[in-house]
């Protein structure tokens, strides 16, 4: 399994593999770039089918965090970690503590937070082993009803991004009757569904877990659909909110929507897939731009947290996307390439 010559390596500063025999932890931490600040990024736990799949995931996610922080206007770099295992069956407190000690070895160059498969409770446990954690509310915040879970902010930021995309592509501000298909109604997808429902949108949902689908059907009158058809529905917006690579050579020709805007990381299987979307006339909201709400929220976490300040920063996601869409239309280049160039202007400056 190559690392330095891995197609996703992209000049990473630090990639570390760790095995803790006692707890069974097998994990990778990747720090992509720390020019603007420490590498902040979530810890994903997932039953990867191979070590290579886990490495590819962590490298792509970590790089994405550098670009995400830069375009979100945060003085932070990019990093990410993955634990190889099924969060429903393999996770133990000992394993999570061992992960905390692994994070601590980075001495602050990597700061861990929640991601798919890890919760606020997990990060709290890691915090007993390292102080380099984000996404944890202090006592005052907890008293105010917040947990430090970044998902609500990610969902709100994604909703703001969907509104920007709808304005740019469909020329409308009113979401009443807007048809949206959501792939994955977990922490973010469910909350996004709530915002869309409140705004009058009609929803189609799918998930790996029947209970998650049921919850959304019950709460929002959503229509349940199969996992393999959600991307191909005749809707206005397709919102990927599960795991990555849903936009690929097989699925893009099947899309019937004209907007793809959702919270999942790494939605494009290959960077070149952005060209196919552009040629097909599909407006794609670059994933790391639209889903930056979580790291924005984590950045403000602390005793001075003010909801209005965070929400004002989240609104900037819409402004940034509007600029990306306009530049993309002007020069005829995929939105992802435009976003990358804008981010590089910031973190390579
Ligand atoms: P989650 O695990 O709570 O939810 C993901 C949901 O997708 C789960 O319910 C899962 O069962 C479902 N799912 C997985 N594979 C699927 C498939 N093939 N088809 C349909 N459903 C599938 O995770 P989350 O925190 O909601 O994050 C969702 C996505 O958003 C991830 O890609 C994550 O990296 C990204 N993201 C999350 C945050 C955050 O604040 N939580 C921030 C930025 C980006």
pLDDT averages per 10-residue partition of the chain, 349 residues = 93 97 98 95 96 96 95 96 97 98 97 91 95 80 76 96 98 98 97 98 97 98 97 98 92 98 93 96 97 93 88 98 98 98 93
**Total count of domains within the chain:** 2
CA angle 227, 231, 234 (to 5 degrees): 120
**Domain housing 177:** 151-347
- Out of 118, 153, 225, 242, give the residue to mutate to test ligand 1, the one with the largest number of ligand atoms within 8 Å of its CB: 242
Query: Domain check: are 56 and 174 in the same one?
Result: no
pLDDT given at position 148: 77
Report residues whose beta carbon is within 6 angstroms of any ligand 1 atom.
Answer: 115-116, 150-151, 154, 183-184, 186-189, 206-209, 212, 227, 241-243, 263-265, 291, 294
Residue 147 pLDDT: 77
Q: Looking at the structure, tell me whether residues 124 and 204 fall in a common domain.
A: no
Task: Look at residues 109, 136, 163 and tell me which one is the last residue of a structural domain.
Answer: 136
Residues 204, 223 contacting (CB under 8 angstroms): yes
Give yes or no: residues 119 and 193 share one domain. no
Both 330 and 198 in one domain: the answer is yes
> Has 163 been annotated as catalytic?
no
User: Is the full-model pTM beyond 0.85?
Assistant: yes
pLDDT at 29: 98
Same domain? For 174 and 274 the reply is yes
Indicate whether 312 belongs to any domain: yes
2 assigned to some structural domain: no
Which pLDDT tens digit goes with each residue over 94-141? Answer: 999 999 999 999 999 999 998 889 998 999 999 999 999 987 777 677
What is the pLDDT, as a whole number, of residue 302? Answer: 80
- Do residues 252 and 204 share a domain? yes
- Write out pLDDT tens, residues 156-204: 999 999 999 999 999 999 999 999 999 999 999 999 999 999 999 999 9
% of the chain exceeding 90 in pLDDT: 89
Q: State the pLDDT at residue 86.
A: 97
Asked whether residue 5 is domain-assigned, the answer is no
> What local confidence, expressed as pLDDT, does residue 5 receive?
96
Question: Which string of b and e fits 223-261 if b means at least 16 CB within 10 Å?
Answer: bebeeeebbbbebbbbbbbbbbbbbbeebbeebebbbbb
CATH number reported for the structural domain that contains residue 291 in this entry:
3.40.50.720
User: Residue 176 carries which DSSP code?
Assistant: T
Note whether 42 and 177 are same-domain residues. no
Same-domain check for residues 207 and 101:
no
Question: Minimal CA–CA distance to 56: which of 33, 77, 28?
Answer: 28
The residue whose CA has the least distance to atom 34 of ligand 1 is: 265
CATH number reported for the structural domain that contains residue 59 in this entry: 3.40.50.10860
Residue 243 Cα: closest atom of ligand 1? 32
Q: Can you tell me the distance from the alpha carbon of 112 to that of 137, in angstroms, rounded to the nearest whole number?
A: 14
Same structural domain, 121 and 269: no
pLDDT of residue 141: 74
Same domain, 257 and 343: yes
Domain shared by 194 and 107, yes or no: no
């Amino acid at each position: 399994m190559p690392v330095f010559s891995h197609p996703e390596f992209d000049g990473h500063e630090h990639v570390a593999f760790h095995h803790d025999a006692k707890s069974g932890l097998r994990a990778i931490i990747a720090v992509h770039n720390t020019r603007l600040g420490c590498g902040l990024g979530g810890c994903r736990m997932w039953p990867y089918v191979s070590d290579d799949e886990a490495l590819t995931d962590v490298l792509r996610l970590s790089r994405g965090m550098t670009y995400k922080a830069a375009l979100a206007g945060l003085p932070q770099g990019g990093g990410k970690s993955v634990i190889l295992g099924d969060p429903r069956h393999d996770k133990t407190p000992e394993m999570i503590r061992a992960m905390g000690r692994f994070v601590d070895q980075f001495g602050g160059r990597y700061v861990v937070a929640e991601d798919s498969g890890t919760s606020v409770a997990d990060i709290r446990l890691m915090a007993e082993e390292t102080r380099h954690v984000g996404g944890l509310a202090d006592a005052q915040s907890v008293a105010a009803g917040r947990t430090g879970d970044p998902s609500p902010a990610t969902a709100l930021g994604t909703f703001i991004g969907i509104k920007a995309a709808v304005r740019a592509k469909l020329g409308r501000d009113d979401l009443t009757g807007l048809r949206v298909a959501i792939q994955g109604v977990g922490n973010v997808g469910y909350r996004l569904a709530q915002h869309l429902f409140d705004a009058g949108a009609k929803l189609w949902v799918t998930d790996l877990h029947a209970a998650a689908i049921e919850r959304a059907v019950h709460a929002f009158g959503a229509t349940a659909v199969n996992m393999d058809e959600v991307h191909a529905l005749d809707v206005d917006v397709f919102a990927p909110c599960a795991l990555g690579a849903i936009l690929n050579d097989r699925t893009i020709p099947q899309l019937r929507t004209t907007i793809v805007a959702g919270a999942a990381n790494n939605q494009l299987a290959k960077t070149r897939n952005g060209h196919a979307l552009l040629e097909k006339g599909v407006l794609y909201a670059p994933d790391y731009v639209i889903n930056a709400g979580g790291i924005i929220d984590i950045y403000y976490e602390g005793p001075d947290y003010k909801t209005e300040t965070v929400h004002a920063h989240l609104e900037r996601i819409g402004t940034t996307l509007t600029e990306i869409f306009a530049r993309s239309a002007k020069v005829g280049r995929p939105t992802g390439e435009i976003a990358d160039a804008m981010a590089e202007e910031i973190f390579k400056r």
